[in-house]
Amino acid sequence: MRRLDPAAIGGIMSREVANFRTFWKATTFSSVLEPTVYLLAFGLGLGATLIDRVDGLSYVEFVGTGMVATAVIFSSALPAMFGTFVKHRFQRTYDAILAAPVDVEELVTAEMLWIGLRAGVYGCFPLLVSMLFGLDPAFGMLLVPIFCFFTALGFAAFGIAVAASVAKIDQFNYVTTLVITPLFLVAGTFFPISGLPEAVQAVAQLNPLHHLVELVRHSAFGFVATDLIRFAVLVAFAVVLWRVAVRRMSARLID
């Protein structure tokens, strides 16, 4: 691992910001509308008719805090997968960037940081929407963007590594169906994992999204001692996947 040049990383990120200005309205609209629809369907619909309270919380509070994880993975892993593949295979953007004094490690790091920052912001939207449905603000919620950022870094790196590994863009369907969908379903977003079989619970404890869900809920209703371990897991997840993404992109971009 060589020294990362801040100028190179800043240059790549500035390009991403300039590009994002052309479509930020549509992205922001969907990021606000999606948690609203989920809260209406699950929190007020299912919660009002079938479920009253879950783990001592109203179902609106339970789903609203859990939806943060869903917002993070869909605003980090998917853009990283499709964006990386398109910029490399179709637009040849990475070939042009690497012609400048930039290496693959700086390229991957910049892409991760930008996606992480963006997903860190959008991940907070479900909390803001939940406040309109009765969730009380708490001082601990100020840490939620940090939790979202590190989780998004890991999933951005995951998306970059996948994009560097597949041969065709259609193969993303396998990743979405077999990896991303199970991860957010077994994260404790819509139901507590304590009701699952013990083997599934053990696997769910390895799910970064589950740790994010627990951190967000505890930020709203009170932290516990194990939250430091959960946060450390998210940081380690981001670091390990960062190195994997750098290795995979190096193999794909450098002859």
**pLDDT for 192-230, tens place per residue?**
888 888 888 888 889 999 999 999 999 999 999 999 999
231 part of a folded domain = yes
Which tokens hold the place of 72? 């993070």
Using the predicted structure, report yes or no on whether residue 52 has a pLDDT greater than 80.
Answer: no
Specify if 1 maps to a domain. no
Task: Say which residues have a Cβ less than 8 Å from residue 128's Cβ, sequence separation at least 6.
Answer: none
Tell me, what's the pLDDT at 61? 84
The amino acid occupying position 61 is: E
- For the record, the structure tokens of 55 come out as 């783990």
Tell me the angle at which helices 227-253 and 104-122 cross, rounded to the nearest 10 degrees. 140
Q: What percent of the chain has pLDDT over 70?
A: 95
Contact (Cβ atoms closer than 8 angstroms) between residue 147 and residue 219: yes
Domain housing 88: 6-253
Q: How does residue 46 score in pLDDT terms, banded at 50, 70 and 90?
A: low
Q: Average the pLDDT over each of 43-52, 102-111, 240-249 and give the range with the smallest value.
A: 43-52
For the residues 24-44, what does the mean pLDDT come to?
79
Do the domain assignments include residue 235?
A: yes
163's tokens? 């994009």
- Structural domain includes residue 240: yes
Q: Please answer whether residues 98 and 58 qualify as being in contact, where contact means their C-beta atoms are separated by less than 8 angstroms.
A: no
Mean pLDDT along residues 136-149: 94
Asked, for residue 103, whether it belongs to a domain, the answer is yes
What is the percent of the chain with per-residue pLDDT over 90, rounded to a whole number? 63
The secondary element (H helix, E strand) that includes residue 86 is none
Phi/psi for 165 (5° steps) reads -105, -30
- What three-state secondary structure class fits 60? helix
Residue 171 has pLDDT above 70, yes or no: yes
Widest distance between CA atoms in the chain: 60
pLDDT (average), residues 128-150: 91
Specify if 29 maps to a domain. Answer: yes
User: What's the total number of domains in the chain?
Assistant: 1
Query: For residue 213, what pLDDT is reported?
Result: 94
- Dihedrals φ, ψ of 92, to 5°? 55, 30
Please report which confidence band the pLDDT of residue 111 belongs to, taking 50, 70 and 90 as the band edges: very high
User: What radius of gyration, in Å, describes the C-alpha atoms of the chain?
Assistant: 19
Q: Rounded to two decimals, what is the model's pTM?
A: 0.92
Neighbours of 17 (CB within 10 A): 13
In a domain, 234, yes or no: yes
- 71 pLDDT higher than 60: yes
Buried b (16+ CB within 10 A) or exposed e, 187-219: bbbbbebeeeeeeeeeebeebbbbbbbbbbbbb
**What pLDDT does 142 receive?**
94
Q: CA-CA distances (angstroms) from residue 12 to 101, 104, 149?
A: 11, 12, 19
108 located within any domain: yes
Pseudo-torsion of CA 83, 88, 90, 96, nearest 10°?
A: 120
